[in-house]
Amino acid sequence: MAVSIRLRREGSKNRPYYRVVVADSRSPRDGKFVEILGTYDPKLTGQNSSFSLERAEYWISKGARPSDTVRSLIKKQKQTVAAQPASEPESESSETAEEDLSPSAETPV
């Protein structure tokens, strides 16, 4: 069975919404699938897709072939994940600093 990672269209007319799925390459676009990996909304700007990168890499290692659009989404997702860990420690430290400055419930007003 030839497996592909591709988009499955959902949503209404003029409002496309896609699910990233693993499916048999012979099945129709909106037909039977093996697993849902995530979603893609082309109408949104910025971060418009969310899916499991680990599961996509697992299926690719098993021989699944991503479509051109899904390949570009995977590439963007990898860039986003690579950029996030560098910015997370800063946001955590700023949150803890804000908590330390907030008045405690025990202090009389």
Domain boundaries, the chain: 3-82
Q: Topology of domain 3-82, per CATH?
A: S16 Ribosomal Protein; Chain: A; (3.30.1320)
The average pLDDT across 99-105 equals: 55
What does the pLDDT read at residue 1? 72
How is residue 74 written in tokens?
A: 């995977």
Q: Model-level pTM greater than 0.75?
A: no
Contact 47, 76 (CB under 8 A): no
Residue 32 amino acid letter: K
- Phi, psi at residue 64, to the nearest 5°? -70, 145
Mean pLDDT of the chain: 82
Read off the pLDDT band of 105 (50, 70, 90).
low
